[in-house]
């Protein structure tokens, strides 16, 4: 599951980054400051998606925190850029999957470390 979360987060991070760059550029040409600010927040969210995906391979709990931060930032900063709300919900879902991956890896490691029962 860690690999799936990592690959999906990295791909979506690049997608959010490209979309937010397009929004910020268009807002700059149209002299719309609110949309430009939301596009800048989207660029940060895209970088956080990418970072969370990179951390999910080795440190899924760090990826959970980074993806939660991306979701909160997208939810709070997406006033004029409605797609950021969608990316926020996707970030929360990926953070939940990353948390499940962390817990399952932890349980698996604990199962291998328990001593066998005495006969």
pLDDT, tens digit (0-9, with 9 covering 90-100), for 91-102:
999 999 999 998
Q: Is pLDDT of 42 > 80?
A: yes
HSE-up of 86 (CA within 13 Å, CB side)? 7
Average pLDDT (24-42) is 86
Average pLDDT (48-71) is 94
CB-based contact 74:86 (threshold 8 Å): no
Element (H, E) at 111: helix 83-113
CB-based contact 38:80 (threshold 8 Å): yes
Q: Is pLDDT of 114 > 70?
A: no
Determine the Cα–Cα distance for residues 81 and 83; give it in Å rounded to an integer.
6
Q: Is pLDDT of 116 > 90?
A: no
Q: Is pLDDT of 1 > 70?
A: yes
Q: Is pLDDT of 118 > 80?
A: no
Determine the Cα–Cα distance for residues 53 and 91; give it in Å rounded to an integer.
11
* Burial class (CB within 10 angstroms; exposed 0-12, middle 13-18, buried 19+) of 31: exposed
Nearest alpha-carbon partner for 5 in 44, 77, 62, 78: 62
- φ/ψ of 58, rounded to 5, equals -110, -30
Confidence category of residue 104, pLDDT binned at 50, 70, 90: confident
């Amino acid at each position: 599951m860690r690999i799936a979360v990592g690959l999906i987060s990295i791909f979506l991070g690049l997608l959010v980054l490209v979309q937010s760059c397009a929004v910020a550029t268009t807002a700059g040409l149209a002299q719309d400051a609110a949309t430009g600010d939301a596009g800048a927040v989207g660029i940060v969210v895209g970088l956080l998606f990418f970072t969370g995906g990179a951390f999910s391979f080795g440190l899924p709990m760090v990826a959970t925190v980074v993806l939660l931060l991306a979701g909160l930032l997208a939810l709070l900063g997406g006033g004029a850029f409605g797609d950021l709300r969608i990316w926020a919900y996707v970030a929360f879902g990926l953070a939940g999957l990353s948390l499940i991956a962390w817990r399952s890896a932890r349980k698996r490691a604990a199962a291998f470390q328990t001593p066998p029962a005495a006969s």
